[in-house]
A and B are shown apart, each in its own frame.
With several copies, the nearest count.
Chain A
Amino acid sequence: MNDRNVVIAGAAGEGIQTIGDVVATSFLAHGYPVFLTQEFESRIRGGNSSTTLRIGSAPHNAPRRDADVLLALNRVSQQHYAPQLREGGILISPEVFAFRDLAKEHGGSERYANAVAAGALCAATGMPVAVLERRLRETFAGHGEEVAAANARAAQAGYDQALGRLGERAERPLPPRTHRYAFASAHDAIALGAAAAECRFMAAYPMSPSTHLITTFARHPELGVFAEQAEDEIAAIHMGLGASAAGARAMTATSGGGFALMVEAVSLAGMIETPIVIVLAQRPGPATGLPTRTAQEDLLFAIRAGHGEAPRAVLAPSDPQDALRAAIRAFDLADRYQIPVIVLTDQYLADSRFALPPVELPDAIPGPQLADPASIERYARYRLTDDGVSPRLALGQSEHLVCLDSDEHTEQGHITEDLDTVRPAMVEKRLEKGRRLKGEIAPPSRNAVDDADLVLVGWGSTKGAIDEAVSILRDSGRRVGALHFTELWPLPAMEFSETARYWTAEGNATGQLAQLLRMEYGVETEGRIGRYDGRPLDAATILEALS
């Protein structure tokens, strides 16, 4: 089937998520990949929200702006989203379909209107209604046979009416396929990656779009992560550092405003050399900004956050598969270098579900790196070593007493005022860790770069959109390629071709990656493509900027 973009729009609380879920899983169960994105306002009822399904024969894990099909559950949504519907696209809405009447007639109650709408959507997209009916039965299994049956009848009625009304424009029923896809969000993946990396402790304060992470651990105790809702973000990260100092791998998650409150503790982690993983799920700022939307505005902030100078790592995964890897890597880097590691995601990564080949755990998952107390004669927490990394014992791990101190300290961890020897040695020790870290940072991924005269450079969640733009431009004969960074600090040593022109593409207005490239590599970018309206960067934005 062709790439089809289906927008399901309605008010918060009207049920678009459920419709999106049952239709998406219908496609998946039928062997077709679905990429699901969500857009909603910062309110609990009303307003304009949407779930978008991008469906095709092969996965298109990238946002598309225009809709082939628009299902609008109410008039306001219809008006709001109609401009997105491409010419000739299909509109399904109460204006053209009597959802409620059909629901009453076939289901016995208006509350089956969404099932009618889902049925109509299937007619428009070539989804056999029987597949949808089974999904509805699964979804409402807990509500008794009558409810399940009513849903099924309502869906069938919607399907039938739409088939009739759409006539030629209805999609022909798709044949079933045997393709299997994993369907998950990047935050689902981070939670599993953390658990796989033996994270034992998470404290966080609720904040969109990060809350799903702590919720996952609380919902699934079998993942082995103790989860605590802190009184504020400051408490959250200090609890994490305490747990980490006592040997438990620990993390927290938040968004920009909450991260801003954690900044002092990021500096502390650098000083006491205690690992901590911080997921910073970005949303548009400044301040409260657009709490439920997406952005990539916190890159330079994350890199520089904290007073004083100490190393850190900043990672920015691009999809769920990559996020699983990034989570495991974050804990490993944090642990081996005894530093804070920040994982940058965003609302788009957090709330979208990607269709991927079934995801597998890496073979080797490095676990905690505490030293062996038996091998130590006389312990000093901040022992000076060649690589700057001191053997780490946890508080309470053994009879060796461990002293952690936020002041500048001696090798034993005690407050020092020795400026001639101890202070410079400790500064250099910490910075040496950063130099070593830099040596093992992954270079950007390369997509058709070798013969490219124009190279798009991106980071994090925009990979799908950029790769899509590259393939469209290649198809039109342009020699375009892409470099994509998912490990952003420290940046690895690398060469940029002198002949290619570079354009950055990112979800902000000031070209933060472009600034970083200039600072680290001296590369001049010819152009900076930025999207900063709260929606994810898409291929169309890139193509417009380049045309």
Chain B
Amino acid sequence: MTTPERDLAVENQWCPGCPNYGILAALKRALERLDLPPHRVCLVSGIGQAAKLPHYVDAHVFNGLHGRAIPAAIGIQVANPEMTTIVTSGDGDLYGEGGNHLLHAFRRNPNLTVIVHNNRIYALTKGQASPTTPLGERTRLQFDGVDVDPAQMLATAIVHNCTFVARGFAGDLDGLAAILERAIAHRGLSLVDVIQPCITWGSHPVDWYRERVFAVPEDHDPTQRDAAIRLALDAPDRFAIGVLYETEPRPTFATAYRKRVGSGPLAWMPRIGRAAIETHLAAWVVDPEGKEPTKEKG
């Protein structure tokens, strides 16, 4: 068996200059810093521009359906907790079509990192509003401007006590790599919403965002829910970058199960064996009393 030689001659399909390249670079750097070999990493995505990212990294890939990255990742993570499983997909994918899965993932707390490429737009379908497009912004479907409020998924994560909630900026490679490194190392669900301006369909250039991001204040206590929610709630034009909320890890998904069976991949656990099944099959049989000759004849 040779060392993994991955067909990385995959042509990148993003627009030249797209901040998605920044997320890609930051993720690669974080994986390197964490010293994770490619075959111990699984990247999971849905469908969209963002969701193409896994094809550009040296890792296992599950590029599933639009909106369904989270449940697929949960299945992968339960089946093989020895891999580092990371979801990387779009704001439409994870907050729109897949909103219910993310909501319930907060409850389950699987050991996953979820990276949301938040470009506030449906880019691959050419520019409709995403759940995070600000009120009033005009798009190629909302011609008079978006008239519903944006989804507040970071705040929703916080009220569900998701133990690692951060916002990153795709225009800041170092900062983002550092956040991703912490997120991946964190045990339990880590949510990282990355501001990723779309330079093709978005309303503002990267610099507009650069001028409006600010670091989470030094004195912010990331264990404080109220303060974290305040930082999380999207002002349409001010973005606190950094870890907004971080508390003691709580039990991750399937902890009780894993206590019972150990930590290996389900696929290579010892066979249940015929005996266990045969016991059940035997229990179906009602033995006739007549076979036991001592019993009375009713």
Q: Which residues of A contact B (CB under 8 A)?
A: 13, 25, 28-31, 41-47, 128-131, 134, 173, 175-184, 188, 192, 195-196, 198, 200-201, 203, 205-208, 211, 214-215, 218-224, 226, 228-232, 234-236, 238-250, 257, 264-265, 268, 272, 287-288, 291, 358-361, 365, 367-368, 370, 373-374, 376-378, 380, 394-407, 410, 412-415
Q: How far is the CA of A69 from the CA of B290 in the complex (A)?
A: 25
Chain A residue contacts of B38, Cβ below 8 A: 399, 401
Indicate if the CB atoms of A218 and B288 lie closer than 8 Å: no
Of A130, A207, A238, A287, which one neighbours B298 at CB under 8 angstroms? A130
Residues of A within 8 A of B297 (CB): 128, 175-176
Q: Does A359 contact B281, Cβ atoms closer than 8 Å?
A: yes
Write out the residue numbers on chain A whose beta carbons fall within 8 Å of the beta carbon of B150.
none
Complex CA gap A87/B96 in Å reads 50
Q: How far is A264 from B61 in the complex, measured between Cα atoms in Å?
A: 20
1/0 per position for B1-25, CB-CB distance to A under 8 A? 1111111001001111000000000
In Å, the complex CA distance between A155 and B278 comes to 35
The answer on a CB contact under 8 Å between B284 and A182 is yes
- In Å, the complex CA distance between A407 and B72 comes to 16
A29–B72 contact, CB under 8 A? no
Of the listed stretches B162-170, B206-214, B260-268, name the one at the interface; the rest are far from the partner chain.
B260-268
Given known pairs A29-B287, A224-B272, A239-B74, the reply for A396 and B66 (CB within 8 Å) is: no
Choice from B2, B13, B76, B274 contacting A242 with Cβ under 8 Å: B76
Known pairs A404-B62, A406-B63; list 20 more (Cβ under 8 Å): A41-B13, A42-B13, A43-B14, A44-B126, A178-B288, A180-B288, A192-B277, A211-B125, A222-B272, A241-B75, A257-B65, A365-B274, A380-B7, A396-B80, A396-B82, A399-B1, A399-B4, A399-B37, A406-B64, A415-B52
Contacting pair B141 A206 (CB below 8 A): yes
Q: Give B92-149 interface residues, CB cut-off 8 Å to A.
A: 96-97, 99-101, 103-104, 122-126, 128-129, 131, 140-143
A287 touches B65 (CB 8 A): yes
Which of B26-34, B39-47, B183-191 touches A? Answer: B39-47
Min CB gap B270→A, angstroms: 9
The distance in angstroms between the C-alpha atoms of A235 and B297, with both chains bound, is 55
Cα–Cα, bound, A211→B129 (Å):
13
Measured CA separation A223–B123 after assembly (Å): 27
A6 to B141: give the CA distance in the assembly, Å.
31
In the complex, which residues of chain A have a beta carbon less than 8 angstroms from the beta carbon of B58?
401
- By CB atoms of chain B within 10 A, which of A129, A222, A238, A365 has the most? A238
Say whether A400 contacts B104, CB under 8 Å.
no
- A250 touching B75 in the complex, CB below 8 Å, given contacts A178-B291, A396-B60, A404-B63: yes
Shortest Cβ distance from residue A288 to the other chain B in the assembled complex, whole angstroms? 5
